[in-house]
């Protein structure tokens, strides 16, 4: 019997748990502005990393340097209102693009693409070694 590859399910679960933990952190934070800003900046950094892996061109077109984000993370209380508006707009763009990426990776589309890849291919046969975790 063939072994089942659960890496996609594990990645989806890890992503959902990470999102849940970030939401819990947002709820637990006090009403101070700098703490909320630092949590939002960390979430933005995570989403930017995900976006950089999937769509490098969009990441380059954002005109936002990673060093700027790190400097904002180091001192969130020194962020000016203009910079914060820029960060909020960037976060909205990134969230929208991440949602588009997630919606594109529909399981049925992936299965159909693999079926058309090779007509005579046997199912559930690993083509490569899976990495050890």
* pLDDT per position as a tens digit, 86-113: 888 888 888 888 777 777 666 777 777 7
* Residue 34 in tokens: 């700098």
Q: For the chain, give every domain's residue range.
A: 33-117
Closest CA to 4 of 122, 126, 129, 132: 126
- The per-residue pLDDT for 127 is 67
Check residue 112 and give its pLDDT: 78
Report pLDDT for 31: 44
Contact 47, 99 (CB under 8 A): no
Which parts of the chain sit beneath pLDDT 50?
A: 30-31
In angstroms, the CA 103 to CA 107 distance is 10
- pLDDT (0 to 100) of residue 126: 67
- Per-residue pLDDT, 45: 83
User: How many CB atoms within 10 Å of residue 55?
Assistant: 15
- The pLDDT value given to residue 86: 85
CA quadruple 125, 104, 24, 62: dihedral, nearest 10: 120
pLDDT of residue 22: 80
* Model pLDDT, residue 30: 46
How far is the C-alpha of 27 from the C-alpha of 31, rounded, in Å? 10
Burial of 44 (0-12, 13-18, 19+ CB in 10 A): buried
Q: Name, in order, each residue with C-beta under 8 angstroms of 83's C-beta and a sequence gap of 6 or more.
A: 72
What was the pLDDT predicted at 106?
Answer: 67
């Amino acid at each position: 019997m063939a072994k089942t590859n659960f890496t996609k399910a594990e990645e989806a679960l890890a992503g959902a748990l990470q999102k849940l933990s970030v939401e819990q952190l947002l709820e637990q934070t006090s009403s101070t502005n700098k703490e909320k800003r630092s949590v939002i900046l960390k979430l933005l950094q995570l989403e930017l990393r995900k976006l950089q892996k999937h769509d490098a061109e969009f990441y380059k077109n954002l005109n936002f340097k990673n060093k700027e984000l790190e400097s904002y993370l180091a001192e969130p209380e020194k962020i000016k209102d203009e910079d914060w508006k820029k960060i909020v707009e960037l976060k909205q763009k990134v969230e929208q693009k991440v949602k588009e990426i997630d919606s594109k990776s529909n399981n049925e589309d992936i299965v159909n693409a693999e079926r058309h890849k090779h007509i005579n291919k046997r199912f559930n046969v690993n083509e490569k070694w899976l990495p050890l975790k």
